[in-house]
């Protein structure tokens, strides 16, 4: 059953001010990216079999900052993002799109059965506040799908370019989850970032200096190649061996009520 606004009532508090550099990253990179990009249906990602399994028993769903790469079913899912171009397209496809920040979500406590945050909390200066909000809106027993880049030793210019604030060490990531009442159940290696540093640098140059041309290639060539070469997602109980892993996907369970439980 699709989520309704009555099932996930919004709070009326306005979006608070955040650091100017975070908003500037969104304006200069992500708004430009999503303005010229196409929405890719979640069924095209290797996460879909996992998501379909989880969503079947989760009528109340939230995805945080998906841009135009949503992983949850679009129709009936609540989406919170700060990018207006992304929100317009998500709403046009049946999503319940709301402009909001990760550390001030406009939803009631315990509002969702499935919460998804792919490649987002590493962008947020106050990741503790963001995790507290995810815990607040997740009902007891809810599932959290979370993906983040790991290992600070793997930091590259690409991390700076897209506005990462950190990469997570696996032990610190598990501790962050535990502080907010999430218990890890399964994990997998994840991510679609090219391994070639030369290709990454070339892409960053074109996005900076020739964005229209870069977006043509991104939409019609590189994204299609990336989608077509995704390996099947291989989930393992607990935390996988993270050696040589760039990004990890975690399936967690909300074990308490409020984040302070």
Q: Which helix (H) or strand (E) holds 211?
A: helix 211-217
Q: Mean pLDDT across the stretch 205-220? A: 57
pLDDT surpassing 60 at residue 108: yes
pLDDT surpassing 80 at residue 99: yes
Q: Mean pLDDT across the stretch 162-168? A: 85
pLDDT surpassing 50 at residue 10: no
More confident position, 84 or 37: 84
Residue in 135, 2, 4, 8 with CA at minimum distance from that of residue 58:
2
pLDDT reported for residue 209: 55
Highest mean predicted confidence (pLDDT) among 98-102, 130-134, 254-258: 130-134
Evaluate whether 53 touches 72 at the Cβ level (below 8 Å).
no
Q: Average pLDDT, whole number, for the chain?
A: 82
More confident position, 25 or 33: 33
More confident position, 76 or 202: 76
> Quick count: other Cβ atoms within 10 Å of Cβ 32?
18
Rg (CA), the chain: 17
pLDDT reported for residue 229: 73
More confident position, 29 or 157: 157
pLDDT surpassing 80 at residue 142: yes
Q: 114-130: per-residue pLDDT in tens?
A: 999 999 999 888 899 99
More confident position, 195 or 45: 45
List Cβ neighbours of 41 (8 Å cut-off, separation of 6 or more).
Answer: 70, 74
pLDDT surpassing 60 at residue 106: yes
More confident position, 24 or 173: 173
pLDDT reported for residue 259: 41
CATH number of 20-194+233-254: 3.40.50.150
Evaluate whether 49 touches 231 at the Cβ level (below 8 Å).
no
Q: Is 191 helix (H, G, I), strand (E, B) or coil?
A: coil
pLDDT surpassing 70 at residue 187: yes
């Amino acid at each position: 059953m699709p989520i309704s606004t009555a099932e996930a009532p919004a709070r009326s508090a306005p979006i608070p001010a955040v650091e100017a550099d975070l908003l500037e990253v969104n304006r200069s990179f992500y708004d430009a990216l999503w303005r010229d990009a196409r929405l890719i249906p979640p069924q095209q990602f290797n996460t879909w079999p996992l998501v379909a399994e989880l969503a079947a028993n989760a009528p109340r769903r939230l995805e945080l900052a998906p841009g135009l790469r949503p992983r949850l079913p679009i129709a009936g899912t609540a989406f919170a993002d700060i990018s207006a171009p992304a929100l317009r397209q998500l709403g046009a496809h049946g999503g319940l799109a709301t402009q909001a920040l990760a550390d001030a979500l406009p939803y009631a406590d315990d509002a969702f059965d499935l919460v998804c945050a792919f490649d987002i909390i590493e962008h947020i200066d106050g990741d503790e506040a963001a995790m507290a909000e995810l815990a607040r809106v997740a009902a007891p027993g809810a599932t959290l799908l979370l993906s983040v880049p790991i290992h600070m030793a793997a930091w590259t210019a690409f991390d700076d370019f897209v506005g990462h604030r950190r990469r997570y060490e696996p032990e610190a990531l598990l501790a962050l989850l535990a502080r907010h009442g999430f218990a890890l159940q399964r994990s997998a290696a994840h991510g679609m970032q090219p391994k070639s540093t030369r290709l990454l640098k070339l892409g960053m140059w074109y996005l900076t200096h020739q964005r229209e041309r870069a977006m043509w290639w991104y939409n019609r060539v590189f994204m299609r190649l990336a989608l077509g070469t995704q390996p099947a997602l291989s989930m393992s109980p607990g935390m996988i061996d993270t050696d040589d892993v760039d990004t990890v996907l975690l399936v967690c369970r909300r074990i308490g009520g409020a984040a302070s439980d």
